[in-house]
Structure 1
Amino acid sequence: MFLTLCALFVLSACLHCCDAQLRLASYYGDHMVLQKSPARAVLWGYGPEGAHVTVSLSGPTQQRTSPVTVTEGIWRVTLDPVEPGGPYMVNVSSETSTVNMTDVLFGDVWLCGGQSNMRFHMSTIFNASSELALTPKYPHVRPFQAATKVSETELLDLIQVQTRWAVPTAGGLSQFSAVCWLFGRYLYDVLKYPIGLVESCWSGTVVEAWSSSRALQECDLERVNSNAVNPHGPRKNSILWNAMIHPLLNMTIYGAIWYQGESNTGYHPNQYNCSFPAMIDDWRMAFHQGSGGQTDPDFPFGFVQLSTCAKHTSSESYSNLRWHQTEDTGFAPNSKMRKTFMAVALDLPDETSPRGPIHPRDKQDVAYRLMLGARAVAYNQTDVLFLGPFPKEIQPLQNSIEIVYDQEVSVTQSEDIYEICCSTTRAACSLHSSWVPAPILSWALASVRISTASCQGSAVAGLRYAWQNWPCDFKACPVYSINKVLPAPPFIFYYPQGNN
């Protein structure tokens, strides 16, 4: 059962019962962004037992909370809703001491999680110098970075802060997550109000490490654990949830974005269609409860579908993981992953990346596609196209198949991006050799027709698109949205029985 916030305070009180100093929790400070209305921002910290703490807000609007009593070394207040903007001064006072936060803004707070492609620094992306030079134009997009730490138990507060809240500078952003910063920057261009970015990620980590024991139980993974030494990052169950996510639960947030999965291509890959959605659901429940109901119980969650890794390989590990990221539907949101959005990245390979092809440098397109998803799903902008073409109907024809898409398409010729499985049974399609290329024959406004001649008259049991680790060159996949911005996601389809 999920522990109540009060219970967590009691469990952690031993860490702070001797701390007589009035102070805020680790992730509050000057220049921060607090969640705007209609939600209410939560503030909490430590103080001498029995002291009475009052929080005052001064700036474009004023407010003062009723005194709260420090209990088990902890105080906590929930502000009234505040419209976006600032700056504000936040004054936290007790009978004997005062703590201030200056230049505080109210806007939307987004959590950025995952592994190395989320941690990939601004200094390493394409056109890094020119991108960083734009930083002074975005003083209201504020970054914060949690330090990489582990814990065997759930912690109330961060062990360490890597980068405190700040007005961004080119130098200060150079080691910050590129996807996180660019996503926030692009959002600000649309929303025109403050954006807070909380980076909490670690290279080489698996989804199990970021998941609570509750979430792992949903997928029968709680008892399946890894104590193996990983040169890139920890893999042990819940060890990062405990140290780098659980401490943030009391913060009111608007949403989260996620870039992870590479490490799970070889670690419980077939469970990712359960473990990833279970983690999302569990984070939502935990943040909602931890913030006293202020974080939405269905807060928007965006993720990046895996890009590429090894170009010359027959392995389907990345293809399968991409599919499992969508809970085996091929798109998001879907009926099992509500209020999610996905950025497709398989058309952004980078064979000469200095950090290896597993780390493509084009994070601008990744962040932009995430931003489109956020506009549509998180901000309900119904006129925003955010996902590339996906089949709505597959029609077997004489010696061909017609794929009817859910939107108009831009198509270029390909001999091998589509594949068909030549068999009368789906079981045979588990063999890589059963799949053969199906060249594009023609296309129309919203459809593509492919040849089934490769099956030489035998039945077709399945059809798939872009089902390779490295399906196409840079921005050169055959099927895009009509504006050529959004690549078609990969898909796999099986006929109930083989079709001729």
Structure 2
Amino acid sequence: MKGIKIIVCLIITCHCSTTSMAQVVLPKILGNGMVLQRNQPVPIWGTAKPGEKITVKFNKQSKTGVTDASGKWMVILNAMQASVNPATLTIIGSNTVELHDILVGEVWLCSGQSNMQYEMRKNSKVKKPDTSTVNSPVDELQRAHNPNIRIFLATQKNLQKTDSTHSDWSVAEDSALRAFSAAGYFFAKNLNHDLNVPVGIISSAVSGSRIEPWVSPDAFEAIPYFKTNDIKVEGDPGKFYSKMIEPLAPFALKGFLWYQGESNCFLGETITYTYKMEALINSWRKLWSNKNLPFYYVQIAPYYYTQGKGPVTYTEFTEPELREAQAMALQIPHTDMIVTTDLNDDLKNIHPPFKWEIGRRLELQALTNTYGQKQVISSGPMYKGMKTNANRIILEFKSIGDGLVSHDGKPLSDFTIAGADGKFVPANATIVGNHIEVSAPSVNAPVAARFAWSESAQPNFYNRNGLPAVPFRTDNPLKFTLTAN
């Protein structure tokens, strides 16, 4: 009798296993309430029984494919215009899966460490550096009920599972929004307002993570810098790439948003970080088979790293050098960066609370560089070049917008100058037209200038469009050589 029961159980188990293998199964990123990317082909994919015919129907389109020997299948929907009208996507195989409430619009992926993961629920009302009270993410939670903004929170666990609920996409409101990236949400909110199309935002970030786990290991091998300098890349390369990025591909995206660097700053990194950023960007673009996908990122904010705990001995220049490495990555095509020197009112807090402004500035980059709204000013002044004139250095800038300005009306702060001895001293800085002249009484023959070159610098040098200048030094000894593709 016992043997019969075992045989019956085995038959049931085999039947369930066979049935499961025959079922159409979708990745987590495909679900009810999702946003599909407009104006470009849209892959729909999953698994089923090998050799099975799969039909996908959506908005008068019907596409058919056949699973390969391993049971994988994919069909590509034709490019579609944006639509706020909820529609149903149907996948037909041995079973039928219906995904409801689907919109078509713009889709972005945001990633990084804790400042990108930083949830909407974390702050009550706070004060900006100019002391004016503004609405925080928590206040936004009371108002957020826009059905045309959809969010998907990726975790190490949910991307590895399959289920039949298809419920991981949500309207950006209530408990789902409370746990979502504040920077990502405010980017989406601004983009939805300015483009007037649905926006889907995917957050895949891990608190405390370094850059290396987000990169495909073979991407480092493709960068000659690491081999030439015999640099072994540590920090678990590929760990989050395989668990939290690969499962999202090839979901159609418009671009990437990145906020990370603090953990690598604790390592005292400089130019090596630039090459790691190149590896990251290359690996993600390769995964999505599009070398032109936009990549917009956040330069880390002021913070007392000298008071932190890390494996290096910090100086006040540790953070400026990491920020410099981030800025050098702008040489990578289709990238841009926002500056945050004005967005931390507590330099002992590595998590600046002003994430709505982070999202807004990232969206300005997208408007200008991705959506072609050239009238939008998206960057603050950026160092372009210098020349000397007697006892002065004349600094030239790009991204001046409507002109250079002292944001608070006070003399420009955080400029230093040095002569041939390399000793930097505070400098007097004056705006003259579209350039700045810097000098110091003790430096008769200046050769170099620096701006915001300390971890605590919160300078008042902006353009008239309200965007802070990018920290720099004219005596940067490091060179970044872009890998030829």
- Measured against the shorter chain, the TM-score band is 0.7 to 0.9
Secondary structure of the corresponding residue to residue 269 of structure 1: coil
Task: Find the aligned partners of 1:300 and 1:325 in 2 and give their Cα distance.
Answer: 16
Is the CA contact 1:122–1:173 (under 8 Å) kept in the aligned structure 2? yes
Query: TM-score under structure 1 normalisation?
Result: 0.80
Is 1:75 the counterpart of 2:73? The answer is yes
Residue of 204, 213, 218 corresponding to 2:217: 213
Give the deviation of 1:275 after TM superposition: 0.9
Number of the residue aligned with 2:248: 248
In the alignment, which of 13, 26, 29 is matched to residue 28 of structure 2?
26
CA, structure 1 residues 143+16, in 2 after alignment: closer, same or farther (shift >3 Å)? farther
Deviation of 1:18 after TM superposition, in Å, equals: 6.7
Q: CA deviation at 1:416?
A: 5.1
Q: CA deviation at 1:357?
A: 1.0
Structure 1 counterpart of 2:25, which letter? R
Q: Do structure 1's residue 185 and structure 2's residue 189 form an aligned pair? A: yes
Distance 1:140 1:16, change over 3 A: farther
Contact 2:150 2:200 in 1 (8 A): yes
Unmatched 5+ residue regions in structure 1? 1-14, 150-156, 227-234, 289-295
User: How many residue pairs were aligned?
Assistant: 429
8 Å contact 1:16–1:73 — kept in the other structure? Answer: no
Q: Is 1:274 aligned to 2:275, yes or no?
A: yes
Q: Show the counterpart of 1:101.
A: 99
User: Structure 2 vs 1, CA of residues 311 and 200 (structure 1 numbering), >3 Å: closer, same or farther?
Assistant: closer
Q: Is the 8 A contact 1:401 1:452 kept in 2?
A: no
* Counterpart-to-counterpart distance in 1, 2:64 and 2:212: 41
Aligned to 1:358, what secondary structure does the other structure show? coil
> In structure 2, how many angstroms separate the alpha carbons of the residues matched to 1:47 and 1:68?
9
1:74 Cα offset (Å)? 1.5
Aligned ranges for residues 293-304 of structure 1 at < 5 Å?
A: 296-304=290-298
1:188 CA drift (Å): 0.6
SS of residue matched to 2:159: coil
Q: Is the 8 A contact 1:31 1:103 kept in 2?
A: yes
| Aligned counterparts of 2:203 and 2:337: Cα–Cα separation in 1 | 19
Q: Is the 8 A contact 1:122 1:132 kept in 2?
A: yes
TM-fit CA distance, 1:450: 1.8
Is residue 148–residue 201 contact of structure 1 (8 Å, CA) maintained in 2? no
Query: Any conservation in 2 of the 1:17–1:49 contact (CA below 8 Å)?
Result: no
Partner amino acid, structure 2, of 1:224: K
TM-score (norm 2): 0.83
Further displaced range: 165-174 or 124-133: 124-133
Q: Distance in 2 between matches of 1:416 and 1:481?
A: 14
Shift of 1:439: 2.2
Q: SS where residue 118 of structure 1 aligns?
A: helix
**Cα shift at 1:22:** 1.4
1:422 aligns with 2:419: yes
Whole-Å separation in 2 of the counterparts to 1:415 and 1:372: 25
What residue number does 1:482 align with? 464
State the Cα deviation string for residues 436-488 of structure 1 (Å, max 9, x = none).
Answer: 21122x32332222223233x3x43321111111202xxxx2211113x1001
1:350 aligned to which of 341, 345, 348: 345
CA distance in 2, matches of 1:307, 1:52: 52
- Counterpart AA for 2:427: A
Cα distance per residue 1:104-148 (max 9 Å; x no partner): 111111010100000001112442332112311x21111001113
Which of 119, 123, 138 aligns to 1:129? It is: 138
RMSD: 2.6
Unaligned runs of 5+ in 2: 1-16, 127-135, 308-314, 478-485
CA contact (8 A) 1:141 1:168 kept: yes
Q: Secondary structure at the match of 1:203?
A: coil
Whether the 8 Å contact between 1:437 and 1:454 is mirrored in structure 2 is: no
Q: 1:404 to 1:203 in 2, by over 3 A?
A: same
Q: Distance in 2 between matches of 1:447 and 1:487?
A: 15
1:395, distance to aligned residue in structure 2 (A): 2.9
Q: What's the offset of the Cα at 1:17?
A: 11
Change (3 A) 1:364 1:410: same
Residue of structure 2 in register with 1:292 after alignment? none
Mapped contact 1:461–1:495 kept (Cα < 8 A): no
Residues in 2 aligned to 1:372 and 1:135: alpha-carbon distance in whole angstroms = 21
- Determine which of 60, 65, 78 is the counterpart of 1:62: 60
* Conserved? CA contact 2:141–2:177, under 8 Å: yes
Partner of 2:87: 88
Q: Is the Cα contact below 8 Å between 1:259 and 1:303 reproduced in 2? A: yes
Asked whether the equivalents of residues 266 and 305 of structure 2 are also in contact (C-alpha less than 8 Å), the reply is no
Matched with 2:448 is: 462
Post-superposition CA distance 1:209-266 (Å, at most 9, x none): 111112222142797254xxxxxxxx31111111111222221111000000001113
CA distance in 1, matches of 2:67, 2:395: 64
Which whole-Å CA distance do the structure 1 matches of 2:18 and 2:381 have between them?
54
Q: Assess, with a 3 A threshold, how the Cα gap between structure 1 residues 204 and 134 changes in structure 2: closer, same or farther.
A: same
With over 3 angstroms needed to count, the CA separation of the structure-2 counterparts of 1:197 and 1:160, relative to structure 1, is farther
Report deviation, 1:495.
9.5
* Structure 2 equivalent of residue 445 of structure 1: 433
